[in-house]
Amino acid sequence: MSSRTVRGRDVARDVHGGMDDNSLMEKYNLTPKQLERVLRQLVDADLIDLVQVYKCTTLSDSMVAEAFGDGHRFKEQVG
């Protein structure tokens, strides 16, 4: 499997602009698992926050919390 580069700042800009996860996957040719990894890296780099992840994703709250760990912190930010 070959590796390709997705510019994090471009993805972050699209997330800030309100692009949903399906549109992000299509635009950047990502699988759901790859998108999850990209979003996690953007959160870790403070380019987006968990509220933005929650708004752009069609995943359930529990799936987002599980993917990003510390579900309690996630619930505090979105709740």
pLDDT in tens, 18-58: 999 999 999 999 999 999 999 999 999 999 998 888 888 77
How far, in Å, CA of 7 to CA of 57, rounded? 19
The pLDDT value given to residue 13: 96
Can you give the pTM of this predicted structure? 0.68
Q: Is the pLDDT of residue 15 over 70?
A: yes
Six-digit token string for 20:
């949903």
Q: Is the pLDDT of residue 10 over 70?
A: yes
Burial class, 74, CB count within 10 angstroms (exposed 0-12 / middle 13-18 / buried 19+): buried
The pLDDT value given to residue 74: 47
Looking at per-residue confidence, does 59 or 38 come out higher?
A: 38
Q: Classify the C-alpha dihedral 76-74-42-22 as positive or negative.
A: negative
